[in-house]
Amino acid sequence: MSETTRVVIIGGGVVGASVLYHLAKAGWTDSLLIERSELTSGSTWHAAGGCHTINGDPNVAKLQKYTIDLYKEIEELSGQATGFHMTGGVMLASTPERFDWLKSISAKGRYQGIETEVITPEEAHELMPLLDPRQFKGALRTVVDGHLDPSGVTYAYAKSAKILGASYQTHRMVTGILRARDGGWIVQTDKGDIACEHVVNAGGLWAREVGRMVGLELPILAMEHMYLITEDMPEVAEINAKTGREVIHAVDFDGELYLRQERGGMLMGTYEKACVPWSTRNTPWEFGHELLQPDIDRIAPSLEVGFEHFPAFANAGIKQIINGPFTFAPDGNPLIGPIRGVEGMWSACGVMAGFSQGGGVGLALANWITQGDPGFDVWAMDVARYGDWTTLSYTNPKVQENYSRRFSIKFPNEELQAARPHKTTPIYDRMVGLGAQMGESWGLEVPLWFAPEGVRDQFSWRRSSDFAHVGAEARNLREAAGLLEISGYSKFRIAGADAGAFLDRVLACALPKPGRMTLAPMLKENGKLQGDLTCACLDPETYMLFGSGMAENFYARWFEAQKLSTEDVTIEVIGLGLCGLHIAGPKARDILAQIAPDMAKMRFMDFAKMDVSMAPAYVGRVSFTGDLGYEIWMRPEFQRQVFEALLRVGADHGLRPIGLRALNSLRLEKNFGGWAREYRPVYGPLEARLDRFVAYNKPADFIGKAAALAERETGGALRLMSFAIDAHDADVIGDEPIDFQGKTIGWVTSGGYAHASATSVAMGYVPKEYADQADGFTIEVLGHALKATPLPQPLFDPEAKVMRAP
């Protein structure tokens, strides 16, 4: 007879132990962690143990701050020392570009509640005397930086969970996972089966193997990672004696190094360019407390920089070199959350910064399991951000690229090249031939802008080589017409006798009638945004939904979770089964009249099936540019023919192809927001200014209705605003702080230069009490506080007459 428990957590590293603790803290004490060896037997035991709050994603940074604050709590509860040393640190820049990046990180810290200070190299030297100030342009002082005992932290989590009533077992190996007849799970082990409702894959180095037990191929790969520990250094002893404290942490990004004190010496680690993956297809089950063979030649280039930037190291002996594997996802962020289509299966893996993020990951996942929602904005960590296109052959080069660039600058206009091209549309080569500079979105090649011969992106924080050309694309659309490839949108067909009732419950809008479409906010139970879609009705039993491409798996998981077993509804994820083109601008109707006469008769927000040139297509009169525009959807085999027909007919009307950067410029003129920026699961529809699309009075009791009504009653806490920025040679990219009369009150969600209106624009959230202020705002861009003037009306066509023109 099987054992029975509510949750089984597979893996006894710091992440699995954190999940166990947070489940127990939430009252789910009927939870069991099982580990094939001892706790910490994967990557945890040989980790360098550093922890910090700084992260490029503000939402991840919040969870890192929570993690570090948690260590005191679990230490006191368990009686187990975590060995946490809060030393503070310096992040160093040896180039002007890196110093600009550090300034932006400092600015983000202001609204995250993370204390930082931009300082000179000389001030950094006073704080960390081992560095040579002549090698640097500037630095960022951090306060919440430190290191800990990896084993101590893991046992503190596990012992705390046990005190609260949960359990963990070591030396029990999982051999299989089966679906039970009652819909739950049977976890097979070498010591008997365990029946449960939920399985959490916290397998770390073995997460791929655990995923494969239920037919999943998770996009993670282990990389070899080396750090060295020096013999005792007299310089360290001198600093300790003089300050009465440890040597503070240092991160030398351009040297690809991190440093901290280790007893009487120093620890130096590197993310070297010549990185090496480990066990690319299968992780040996017998691997445990072994280390990998060191390869000092591989990290020699980084060490040479380290000896130059930190001269005392040149005379230090090396006591030990640690080389051990740990796992990455393609973008370096964790993979957490429920697995689409596999109810009760949860991911908690790819957490390479386990001692900075493990507590936050455990809290978010425990909330998700027990309450149905993570309680935070975890989009950057959600396993749903990847799909079945992340094969082993894709994942492995992307992870290696990410590892080798972990300390490199990622400029806002920079596109990384590993594992590309992967997904392409039928007109990919045609667009490239026209000069398209391609980017990648959810694995798909997408056109960013069209460059003349010999012109390419020059990576920069400031306006770059694309600026004039993107401006020409945007202005041409406003004056004549533009043609954009939009195949990357997510696309769904919802059909069946109960399709209307299903969507009326899932979407907060009033459903469109046949032949019409509408903007469709989707809410969670707490009234916050779960989606930003367009809904079109073909007939009473057939609807089509369109949304952000990166959210395809996220949306599909939500739709499938909401479907009742009694409903006659099919949910089809169309993907690239339909490819798309978007034509917009004042000449768009004249162009279409020559190849699709019926399209020229369409009213704003009409949706119909019709022939476009020689192709059967779906057409909607809608435009994210805010101009007169049409979206055309067709099967892939027809896209090239329609594209050529539009270019041919449009030539006499000034039609030219445009990219996504021009689209961004144009949507900013309309104050249009986008998913994962302005619209995220932490904002309500009133706060996001989408409430006009919410049918509060419709008879259907849609998901989140009560909470949305409550938000409308109280007014919510925030408001989305648009601003014109007194910018010079750089525009906002997102996450900059918004100040009012010198006080940080909000943050930028996105922005850029609105070329057709010659205005630098930022969108972002502020507390609602500031939303009616006409002046007093500034937004920091690369260390400069720039005047920000609210834009209560869109820069282009504020009354939407152009978009709605009969």
Extended beta strands in 123-171, E state:
138-142, 145-147, 167-169
Percent of the chain with pLDDT over 70: 100
Name the pairing type of β-strands 277-278 and 221-230.
antiparallel
Beta bridge partners of 249: 89
Is the pLDDT confidence value at 96 over 90?
Answer: yes
Residue keyed to tokens 């930190």: 310
The SS3 of residue 598 is coil
Q: How far apart are CA 745 and CA 186, in angstroms?
A: 50
Q: What is the mean pLDDT of residues 688-709?
A: 96
Residue 341 backbone phi and psi in degrees, to 5: 80, 0
Q: What is the mean pLDDT of residues 448-465?
A: 95
Per-residue confidence band for 65, with pLDDT thresholds at 50, 70 and 90: confident
Q: How far apart are CA 114 and CA 171, in angstroms?
A: 41
Per-residue confidence band for 477, with pLDDT thresholds at 50, 70 and 90: very high
Percent of the chain with pLDDT over 90: 91
CB neighbour list of residue 710: distance below 8 Å, 6 or more residues apart: 527
Tally of CB atoms within 10 A around 304: 12
Amino acid type, 336: I
Summarize pLDDT for 390-420 with one digit per residue, the tens: 999 999 999 999 999 998 888 999 999 999 9
The SS3 of residue 249 is strand
Is the pLDDT confidence value at 56 over 80?
Answer: no
Residue keyed to tokens 């894709």: 394
Residue 738 backbone phi and psi in degrees, to 5: -105, 120
Q: At what angle do helices 499-506 and 552-562 cross, to 10 degrees?
A: 110
Could you tell me if 772 and 598 are in contact, meaning their C-beta atoms sit under 8 angstroms apart?
no
For 544-556, what is the HEC assignment? EEEECHHHHHHHH
Please state, in angstroms and as integers, the Cα–Cα distance from residue 302 to each residue in 296, 307, 317, following that order.
Answer: 10, 9, 17
Q: What is the mean pLDDT of residues 698-725?
A: 97
Residue keyed to tokens 């009465």: 244
Residues, the chain, total? 806
CB neighbour list of residue 522: distance below 8 Å, 6 or more residues apart: 506, 507, 508, 529, 530, 531, 532, 533, 555, 558, 703
Q: How far apart are CA 404 and CA 74, in angstroms?
A: 34
The SS3 of residue 359 is helix
Q: How far apart are CA 218 and CA 11, in angstroms?
A: 16
Is the pLDDT confidence value at 150 over 90?
Answer: yes
Could you tell me if 348 and 198 are in contact, meaning their C-beta atoms sit under 8 angstroms apart?
no
Closest among 761, 779, 66 to 375, alpha carbons compared: 66
Is the pLDDT confidence value at 109 over 90?
Answer: no
So what's the pLDDT on residue 289? 81
Is the pLDDT confidence value at 631 over 60?
Answer: yes
Please state, in angstroms and as integers, the Cα–Cα distance from residue 497 to each residue in 517, 542, 560, following that order.
Answer: 19, 9, 17
So what's the pLDDT on residue 642? 98
Could you tell me if 85 and 130 are in contact, meaning their C-beta atoms sit under 8 angstroms apart?
no
Is the pLDDT confidence value at 496 over 60?
Answer: yes
Is the pLDDT confidence value at 701 over 60?
Answer: yes
- Ramachandran category for residue 454: left, alpha or beta (phi over 0 → left; psi -120 to 50 → alpha): left
Please state, in angstroms and as integers, the Cα–Cα distance from residue 330 to each residue in 220, 400, 614, following that order.
Answer: 7, 8, 41
CB neighbour list of residue 604: distance below 8 Å, 6 or more residues apart: 621, 622, 803, 804, 805
Is the pLDDT confidence value at 741 over 70?
Answer: yes
So what's the pLDDT on residue 182? 85
Is the pLDDT confidence value at 30 over 60?
Answer: yes
Is the pLDDT confidence value at 1 over 60?
Answer: no
Supply 364's token pair.
Answer: 């978010």
So what's the pLDDT on residue 255? 87
Q: What is the mean pLDDT of residues 435-443?
A: 97
688 secondary structure, DSSP code: T
Q: What angle do CA 437, 331, 676 make, to 5 degrees?
A: 75
Residue 86 backbone phi and psi in degrees, to 5: -90, 100
Amino acid type, 563: K
Could you tell me if 638 and 616 are in contact, meaning their C-beta atoms sit under 8 angstroms apart?
yes
Residue 758 backbone phi and psi in degrees, to 5: 50, 50
CA atoms within 13 A on the CB side of 353: 24
Instruction: Find the distance separating the first CA and the last CA of the chain, reported in whole Å.
Output: 71
Q: How far apart are CA 550 and CA 444, in angstroms?
A: 10
Beta bridge partners of 91: 140, 251
* E strand or H helix that includes residue 778: strand 777-781
So what's the pLDDT on residue 23? 98
What is the DSSP track for 199-239? EEE--GGGHHHHHHTTT-----EEEEEEEEEEPP-HHHHHH
Cis, peptide link before residue 421, omega less than 30° from 0:
yes
Please state, in angstroms and as integers, the Cα–Cα distance from residue 236 to each residue in 48, 144, 226, 253, 296, following that order.
Answer: 19, 21, 22, 22, 23
So what's the pLDDT on residue 588? 97
C-alpha dihedral sign at 109, 113, 114, 120: positive
Name the pairing type of β-strands 85-86 and 145-147.
antiparallel
So what's the pLDDT on residue 348? 98
Q: How far apart are CA 798 and CA 151, in angstroms?
A: 60
Q: What is the mean pLDDT of residues 665-683?
A: 97
The mean of the pLDDT values for the chain is 95
Could you tell me if 3 and 195 are in contact, meaning their C-beta atoms sit under 8 angstroms apart?
yes
Please state, in angstroms and as integers, the Cα–Cα distance from residue 92 to each residue in 97, 106, 119, 354, 514, following that order.
Answer: 12, 13, 10, 23, 60
So what's the pLDDT on residue 501? 97
Is the pLDDT confidence value at 2 over 80?
Answer: no
Please state, in angstroms and as integers, the Cα–Cα distance from residue 13 to each residue in 41, 288, 333, 334, following that order.
Answer: 7, 12, 17, 14
Least confident of 295-309, 532-546, 581-595, 765-779: 295-309
Q: What share of the chain is helix, strand, coil (3-state, %, to 5)?
A: 30, 30, 40
Q: How far apart are CA 256 and CA 272, in angstroms?
A: 6
Q: How far apart are CA 796 and CA 756, in angstroms?
A: 9
What's the gap between Cα 31 and its chain centre?
29
Is the pLDDT confidence value at 47 over 60?
Answer: yes
Residue 658 backbone phi and psi in degrees, to 5: -130, 165
Amino acid type, 286: E
